[in-house]
Amino acid sequence: MSAKVARAPVMEPASRPDDSKAAVKINLSDVGAVHQALRAGRLTQARRTTLSGNDAIAKAALEAGARFFGGYPITPSTEVLEYAARNIFSYGGSYLQMEDEIASIASAIGASLGGVKAFTATSGPGFSLKQENLGYACLVEVPLVVINVMRGGPSTGGPTDAGQSDVMQARWGTHGDHPIVAIAPATVQECWEETVRAFNIAEKYRTPVILLPDAKVSQMKEPVILPALADIPIVNRARPSGSPEEYEAFGPTANGVPLMAPFGEGYRSHFTGLYHNRKGLPTRDVRLIDQLQKRIHAKLNTPAARRDILKTETFLCDDAEILVVAYGITARAAKDAVLEARAVGIKAGLLRPITLWPSDRETAIKYLSRVKRVIVAELNLGQYRLEIERLAYEAAQRKQCVPTTVTGLHRVDMRLISPRDVYEEICR
């Protein structure tokens, strides 16, 4: 490595996502983005340090431009709050420890509407309490990052123990048809990279993004290599530059993402949890309601949005006959098991969804249609297995054949799934 490591009018935005050379140096859509940029020679300097997953998340948030944190302490996410409390003021930001989880996400929503990149952090039961306001943020299109460090559940469950119990809650936890992005890092390096990417997605597409590290990833410490501050690819929300009289907080744009004016800059904005028109005012117009609901989903499903949002690691999948699907800490054990299986002549591969929601449908179907058997390994009783079964059925429908057998390797006893557990399941 040669790098030194140390209909109403469509209004044009005053500021668009940064097109600086930093965005060229590091492509956060790549798996292992920083290491890839170093190997390719696009980065000439970097910072080497050791961080816990939670500290990496909070550090990345501040370095991505977050200037407000509203939270409430809860194991095992409290270190995110503590890091923010110690460091956010030196970045010119603000910190609020609120009275509960409901107020925490509400304060972050308010800060974001005021024009500031904002985030909150929680776990399990606290994530449950945030769901109503998360739905509000989805409908009024608030850029927001929610850190949910997964532990065992339901209820208090195992506060200090490993779990991946919030996968379905991340997708369907709040009521109604709502779009959401949820990302599951598997290493401390990814905790940093995926937090930056989460903020970029939230800002570019005016949407909440959930980061879903599990307790082990968030609590472990590992060496990381971070780019220089000037080389971090940062995206900021697009703001209007036209007349305030013409501004519509939910008006049409070419990519379906409305321009967002912060409070206090002369543009009138109204944000209600009711169905609303382009000005943000409540409406009973069925045509506008239909357009609103479909647009907030469609903006995350354009080819450009899919390139930004979807991210999957494929490891030895091209000739695989047995496919292991795993994410977060479990994927690390699964990768070791795949290598062990290959060593004895078993053609196994690993499909690791980094973006859990929306699922990377086409990538998954590509490999699900080729293999003889699929094993979904996760620290719950089969939450993401349901999505893989759905995609396996769709793959079979396309080929007009019988769906590939999907089995589960699940654990909810506070212990991790080991490489040996996965290897033995591969060998069955």
Using one digit for the tens of pLDDT, what is the confidence trace for 193-249? Answer: 999 999 999 999 999 999 999 999 999 999 999 999 999 999 999 999 989 999 999
Instruction: Share the mean pLDDT of the chain.
Output: 94
DSSP 332-401: HHHHHHHHHHHHTT--EEEEEESEEES--HHHHHHHHTT-SEEEEEESSSSHHHHHHHHHHHHHHHHHTS
Say what the pLDDT of residue 86 is. Answer: 98
CA distance 404 to 402: 7
Say what the pLDDT of residue 23 is. Answer: 45
Say what the pLDDT of residue 280 is. Answer: 97
Q: How large is the average pLDDT for residues 133-156?
A: 97
Buried b or exposed e, range 388-418, using 16+ CB within 10 angstroms: bbebbeebbeeeeeebbebebbbbbeeebbe
Q: Any residues with CB less than 8 A from the CB of 319 and at least 6 apart, and which? A: 347, 349
Q: How large is the average pLDDT for residues 138-151?
A: 98
CA distance 321 to 346: 8
Say what the pLDDT of residue 264 is. Answer: 86
Q: What is the DSSP letter of 150?
A: B
Q: What is the DSSP letter of 229?
A: G
Q: Which CATH architecture has domain 4-231?
A: 3-Layer(aba) Sandwich (3.40)
Domain boundaries defined on the chain = 4-231, 312-426
Query: By the 8 A CB rule, do 256 and 204 touch?
Result: no
Q: How large is the average pLDDT for residues 1-21?
A: 39
Say what the pLDDT of residue 24 is. Answer: 67
Query: By the 8 A CB rule, do 153 and 262 touch?
Result: no
Q: Position of tokens 């999957």? A: 312
Find the angle CA(256)-CA(257)-CA(263) to the nearest 5 degrees.
145
Is residue 279 packed enough to be buried (19+ CB in 10 Å), middle (13-18) or exposed (0-12)?
middle
Element holding 67 (H helix, E strand):
none
Say what the pLDDT of residue 3 is. Answer: 45
Query: By the 8 A CB rule, do 61 and 116 touch?
Result: no
CA distance 275 to 289: 6
Total-model pTM: 0.94
Query: By the 8 A CB rule, do 300 and 358 touch?
Result: yes
CA distance 26 to 197: 11
Say what the pLDDT of residue 250 is. Answer: 97
Q: How distant, in Å, are the alpha carbons of 79, 134, 200 from that of 180?
A: 25, 10, 14
Q: Going by DSSP bridges, is the β-strand pair 312-315/348-353 parallel, antiparallel, or unpaired?
A: antiparallel
Higher pLDDT, 250 or 17: 250
Q: Would 4-231 and 312-426 be classified into the same CATH topology?
A: yes
Say what the pLDDT of residue 9 is. Answer: 35
Is the confidence at residue 13, as pLDDT, over 90? no
Q: Position of tokens 């239909």? A: 290
CA distance 40 to 38: 5
Q: Write out pLDDT tens, residues 365-387.
A: 999 999 999 999 999 999 999 99
Structure tokens at 82: 């503590």
Nearest alpha carbon to residue 20 among 191, 200, 193, 144: 200
**Radius of gyration of the chain, Cα coordinates, nearest whole angstrom:** 21
Domain 312-426 classification at class level? alpha beta
Q: For the chain, what's the residue count?
A: 428
Q: How large is the average pLDDT for residues 102-122?
A: 98
Bridge partners of 67?
A: none
